[in-house]
Amino acid sequence: MNANLKGRTIFITGASRGIGREIALRAAVDGANIVIAAKTSEPHRKLPGTIHTVAAEAEAAGGAALALQLDVRDEAAVAQAVAAGAERFGGLDAVINNAGAISLTPAAATSMKRFDLMLSINTRAVLATATAALPFLKRSANPHILSLSPPLNLAAQWLKPFIPYTTTKYGMTLLSLGLAEEFRSAGIAVNTLWPRTTIATAAVEFEVSAAMLKISRTPRIMADAAYEVLVTPSRELTGKTLIDEDFLRERGVSDFDIYKVDLAATELTRDLYVDP
């Protein structure tokens, strides 16, 4: 099996900006087929990127692209989008669960409406995409499901401050670990990937602080780590909760300055759920 993504079809949720966009462009360089599945089809007044701009970028980078407007909370729409991508490109090889919702609020300050939103996007959508993709992934030579969620860190410092959000992200990971075992016999790899440091995305800028962007890494590090997952034979890597930097070090990467937003930054911010 060639260690590249040429001709492989990758379905990415939330790919109109940020990490999802970066993964799409990294795969497109190899000549992959990218299904850009996200809500933003028209320009947002504050946020850059749409499914159409990313599809154009992916094609300019050397890949083929299909832009599909998708709300991952709608399981029927998810199934239709997955099937449309598989039909367009003659199959499906990987699903990237990148779409996410965040609210770093304690339980007492989190409305049930907000919690339901996070639960639907962060956890429920993983099950929806996995089950919709399963028939197609079974026919792939190297099938992968990769979810952007953290290792299960049950330290009190992570359980206390914003447990509603944490519950939905840990649910994403727990589902992935279970699906890895359920799909193991079919040779479908299911893993999670999480950054060691904060990543300079719109979510960080608007939910945390714009000042944090300069002490973060670019989305490229997550894209490079995701790429390494996807080119690995699926039966050799499944049921893992991966950290981007650690995984890339295992793959021989030693220069991490290339991922800094600000090369002058001497200390970067650790991401949520990552201990020193």
Report, as residue numbers or ranges, the catalytic residues. Answer: 165
Is the Cβ–Cβ distance between 245 and 131 less than 8 Å? no
Q: In what order do the strands lie in the sheet with 94-97?
A: 64-69, 33-38, 9-13, 94-97, 144-147, 189-194, 241-243
Calpha distance 217→159 (Å, rounded): 25
| Residue matched to tokens 């590090």 | 221
Calpha distance 168→174 (Å, rounded): 10
Residue type, position 53, single letter? T
